Amino acid sequence: MVNDMPKTTTFLILGASGDLTSRLLLPALGQLLEREPDRQIVLHGAGSDAWSSRRWKDAVRDAFTSADAEDMLDRVADTTYTQADITKADDLKKLLDRAEGRLVMYFAVPPAVTVAACEAMQKLTLPDDTVLALEKPFGGDEAGARALNATLTTLVPEKSIFRVDHFLGRSTLLNILGVRFANRLIEPVWSADHVESVLVRYDESLALEGRARYYDKAGAMVDMIQSHLLQVLAVLAMEEPVDLDEIDLRDAKSAALRATHIWDDNPVRHSRRARYTAGTIDGRQLPSYVDEEGVDPARETETIAEIVCEVRTSRWAGVPFTLRKRQGAGREDR
């Protein structure tokens, strides 16, 4: 995404005070700077929380350190944090006016906020060659995703829009591509003739970790299964793409997903939801999900979710693909 950019780039993170930024985005940025020895960035964060400049700089330093990239802090020419309502054009304009060089805007915010921010941007003139990177979930449903796509194309060209699922960058998932298409022993037996069932499981030793504002409206099904784990299923089940560029890989995954259905077309029987009760994780005593700060028990939001699917292609017909996400402490409260 950055190879053709000027040596100085402004990286503006919208939703900078959120968990995604500190746990995944900032560490990845430090690693990226290690691979781009001539790159220098100006790093700006914007969020709804009233963070001080010191708290933001500490968060950046801690994140870079966690990725063994603390030396890369010298490559950050400047870094600031601004409390802002990014759904308001005036607040966005103040952020845009501070950009130096090429601007990359990373949306690490819930989909409803992304939509409102993009609509507000239509009232502004973005700097030339602005790049928009949007973290999943992308819209709240198919109609919302299509509407968001239409809005984005009024802001920047399609080539400057990056729809990001950070799960796809995990080494385990990238290794699957190598095993599938570069291993002559594995690929011939990668089918229903030799595979009885497939389990895609992701267990996290995390509780809510202060994410109630987003998570309690999403839950494990929306947060993980309909995005991350379906992407893994697509990589496992797709036919070999002509190339691993963004177009051929996307088309191969899309074909696999179009062939994917709930097992027996019965979502009641072949899905389940639950949530964690009080318990201990790594020596920490944690409350049940319904007692976490910011949670509305009436929503009945799940932290454990599972669906069983079938990929109805000649390669995979008859093989159950189980997608399961579990997090938190204690037992499962159904």
Q: Which of 194, 228, 261, 270 is catalytic?
A: 228
Q: Which residue has the tokens 């036919």?
A: 239
Helices 230-237 and 171-182, packing angle to 10 deg: 20
* Tokens representing residue 243 in the block: 């190339």
- Cα 333 versus chain centre, distance: 27
Quick one: which of 256, 251, 212, 208 has its CA closest to 232? 256
Q: Which two tokens stand for residue 292?
A: 């976490």
Neighbouring residues of 31: CB distance < 8 A, sequence distance ≥ 6: 67, 69
**Cβ contacts of residue 12 below 8 Å, gap of 6+?**
44, 45, 46, 95, 99, 103, 104, 105, 106
Q: Give which of 82, 2, 18, 99 is closest to 45, Cα–Cα.
A: 82
Number of H helices, E strands in the chain: 10, 14
Say how far apart CA 168 and CA 205 lie, in whole Å: 20
Q: Cβ distance 309 to 225 under 8 Å?
A: no
44 is catalytic: no
The answer to whether residues 241 and 256 touch, using CB atoms and an 8 Å cutoff, is no
Which structure tokens are listed for 151?
């809005």
CA dist 9 and 24 (Å) reads: 20
CA 196 to chain CA centroid, Å, is 30
Kindly calculate the radius of gyration of the chain based on its CA atoms and give it in whole angstroms.
Answer: 21
Residues noted as catalytic: 228
